[in-house]
A and B are shown apart, each in its own frame.
Chain A
Amino acid sequence: MKKIDLANSSIRELNQALHAQQASLTEKEWSVANPKGEHNIAVGLDADLHVDIHGHAGYFCAGMNKTASVTVHGNAGQGLAENMMSGVVRVKGDASQAAGATAQGGLLVIEGNAGARCGISMKGVDIVVKGSVGHMSCFMGQSGSLVVCGDAGEALGDSLYEVHIYVKGEVKSLGADCIQKEMRPEHLEELSGLLAKAGVDEDPAAFKRYGSARQLYTFKVDNASAY
């Protein structure tokens, strides 16, 4: 295992060393000490790496992640795993706002709570939050799934496209065009798979499903004549 102590190395050095593994994979396991809330830790990875960050991470941790598996043993700041493409990002503590923003694939697991705008404009990622999510989560979410084992804040799923949202607890309010939907067998199956993948022990039957009512401008076929 390769150990990097951020008390002695810069973020630039760490990320450069991780990026170098893309050309030839010589070291799969990485351990990062003393993150001390620094920004941009383990950003832009593109190799089959396992990175463990021991402490709290700052903004944009594991952003644009591809293939790699990144675990934060602490909290993460804003923009965790933003625009992730694939792989797994896991946070043992809480994540600040805009976790998984615009992420296109992979799995994001937040074992604590997520702040506001979790999964904003998500485009295919699966996000599983063991705690609660803040306001405006999944705003304009396009595809993928958001699973919340706790509660959701105000305006969940505002202007939603095709994301599947599952919430076990209370939803403070639904955003524009987001509605509760019937939980059919295929949804229970999808949710069971997501919980299993995330290693979260919850009963899928205890969740409610939310999705787009498809009533906003974009969904009206008559508006196609504008082009």
Chain B
Amino acid sequence: MCGIVGLYLKNDKYESKLGELFEPMLIAMTDRGPDSAGFAIYGDDVAEDWVKLTLRHPSDAFNWATFTDQLATALGCEADWMQNANVAVLKVKASESTVRDWIASNAEDVLVLSAGQSIEILKEVGLPENIASKFNLSGMKGSHIIGHTRMATESAVTMEGSHPFSTGSDLCLVHNGSLSNHNRLRDKLKREGITFETENDSEVAAGYLTWRLNNGDTLQGALENALKDLDGFFTFTIGTKDGFAVMRDPIACKPAVLAETEDYVAMASEYQALASLPGIENAKVWEPEPATFYIWERK
């Protein structure tokens, strides 16, 4: 069991309250996943020639100022940072690969949780309410957000094994279910050059999507291929730069509920996670069909 929640705003009415609306949604799914929790929030975009990364260091006392200074000096570019607990959001006027290479060679304790123009991924072991409070979720602003509460089955309860998983620039995945062919698929993807941090099955799904997207698939194409190549149970929610997508496996035994009003589209494993949203009483509420791709994106 696990819980998934997502909230995508169709206009700017609730942008300043995104975190405040989302926090009770995440906490409502504690029964489905008390082991770890995380979320990917989109907003505060950087310019085209900049990249934004969420970085994590095991210690709260890590000196991000020095780290950023060293990186900016070495790469000869502008850089800015903001600390949130043991995570920092780093903005650099350079390419993603340049920054990743520098971090890999110069700061091996620093883990890249996400990269892109808009995305920030924050996740940790513990109860959803503790993670929400640690990162001050309720004060966050943005255009859309997806989250996950984990009840671990296929791998250990660790920060690395918690969701969302980054699947490429501004893309991430949360998963409810379990995959049965993840070991063989992981080996295949490793040969294709995809790297993995854990033994987690959902990370394989994320790696699979990264691989398909690197090979030129559209998001929809990658998900259609996933239906053929992934064996097991899943409801996926995928965060994109401009919105989110939802897909369930053909058997559809993992739950999902969608709700739409003129202001937002919300997704959750169970309706009770949507019950606190404004105007939910009059929202269109329905369950996504099996093996069907749904996407909402701001144009």
The residues of A with any CB-CB pair to B shorter than 8 Å are: 36-39, 55-56, 58-59, 75, 77-78, 93-94, 96-97, 115-116, 134-135
Cβ of B189 under 8 Å from chain A: no
Given contacts A116-B252, A116-B290, 16 further A-B contacts (CB under 8 A): A36-B271, A36-B272, A37-B271, A37-B275, A39-B272, A56-B275, A56-B285, A59-B270, A75-B271, A75-B285, A77-B255, A94-B286, A96-B255, A96-B287, A135-B252, A135-B290
Given the interface contacts A78-B255, A96-B255, does A115 sit within 8 Å of B272 by beta carbon?
Answer: no
* Interface of A (DSSP majority class): loop
Alpha-carbon gap, A134 to B256, bound state (A)? 14
Nearest residue in A to B268 (C-beta to C-beta)?
A37
1/0 contact string of B282-299 vs chain A (CB within 8 Å): 000111001000000000
Closest 6 CB pairs of A and B: A37-B271, A37-B272, A36-B275, A56-B271, A37-B275, A58-B272
* Interface of B (DSSP majority class): loop
Alpha-carbon gap, A135 to B285, bound state (A)? 20
Alpha-carbon gap, A49 to B175, bound state (A)? 41
| Inter-subunit contact A38/B252 (CB<8 Å) | no
**Most chain B beta-carbon neighbours within 10 Å: one of A37, A55, A94, A115:** A37
Alpha-carbon gap, A78 to B270, bound state (A)? 10
Give the distance to chain B from A9, nearest Cβ to Cβ, in Å: 16
Q: Which residues of B contact A37 (CB under 8 A)?
A: 270-275
- 10 A-B residue pairs with CB within 8 Å: A36-B272, A37-B272, A55-B281, A56-B275, A58-B270, A75-B285, A77-B270, A78-B255, A116-B253, A116-B290
Q: Which residues of A contact B272 (CB under 8 A)?
A: 36-39, 58
Q: Which residues of B contact A134 (CB under 8 A)?
A: 252, 290
Give the distance to chain A from B273, nearest Cβ to Cβ, in Å: 8
Q: Which residues of A contact B281 (CB under 8 A)?
A: 55
Q: Which residues of B contact A36 (CB under 8 A)?
A: 271-272, 275
Give the distance to chain B from A79, nearest Cβ to Cβ, in Å: 11
Alpha-carbon gap, A56 to B259, bound state (A)? 12
| Inter-subunit contact B271/A77 (CB<8 Å) | yes
Alpha-carbon gap, A55 to B281, bound state (A)? 8
Given the interface contacts A78-B255, A96-B255, A116-B252, does A58 sit within 8 Å of B271 by beta carbon?
Answer: yes
Alpha-carbon gap, A77 to B275, bound state (A)? 13
Q: Which residues of A contact B287 (CB under 8 A)?
A: 94, 96, 115
Alpha-carbon gap, A135 to B248, bound state (A)? 14
Give the distance to chain B from A150, nearest Cβ to Cβ, in Å: 14
Alpha-carbon gap, A103 to B255, bound state (A)? 22
Q: Which residues of B contact A116 (CB under 8 A)?
A: 252-253, 290
Alpha-carbon gap, A55 to B36, bound state (A)? 31
Give the distance to chain A from B184, nearest Cβ to Cβ, in Å: 28
Q: Which residues of B contact A115 (CB under 8 A)?
A: 287
Alpha-carbon gap, A36 to B268, bound state (A)? 13
Nearest residue in B to A36 (C-beta to C-beta)?
B275
Alpha-carbon gap, A58 to B273, bound state (A)? 11
Alpha-carbon gap, A39 to B32, bound state (A)? 13
Nearest residue in A to B286 (C-beta to C-beta)?
A94
Alpha-carbon gap, A198 to B16, bound state (A)? 47
Alpha-carbon gap, A87 to B272, bound state (A)? 27
Q: Which residues of A contact B286 (CB under 8 A)?
A: 94
Alpha-carbon gap, A55 to B274, bound state (A)? 13
Alpha-carbon gap, A37 to B274, bound state (A)? 9
Alpha-carbon gap, A78 to B287, bound state (A)? 11
Alpha-carbon gap, A36 to B257, bound state (A)? 13
Q: Which residues of A contact B285 (CB under 8 A)?
A: 56, 75, 93-94
1/0 contact string of B262-282 vs chain A (CB within 8 Å): 000000001111110000010
Alpha-carbon gap, A135 to B253, bound state (A)? 11
Give the distance to chain A from B253, nearest Cβ to Cβ, in Å: 8
Give the distance to chain A from B298, nearest Cβ to Cβ, in Å: 28
Give the distance to chain A from B252, nearest Cβ to Cβ, in Å: 6
Nearest residue in A to B256 (C-beta to C-beta)?
A96
Q: Which residues of A contact B273 (CB under 8 A)?
A: 37
Alpha-carbon gap, A30 to B187, bound state (A)? 58
Alpha-carbon gap, A77 to B252, bound state (A)? 14
1/0 contact string of B141-163 vs chain A (CB within 8 Å): 00000000000000000000000
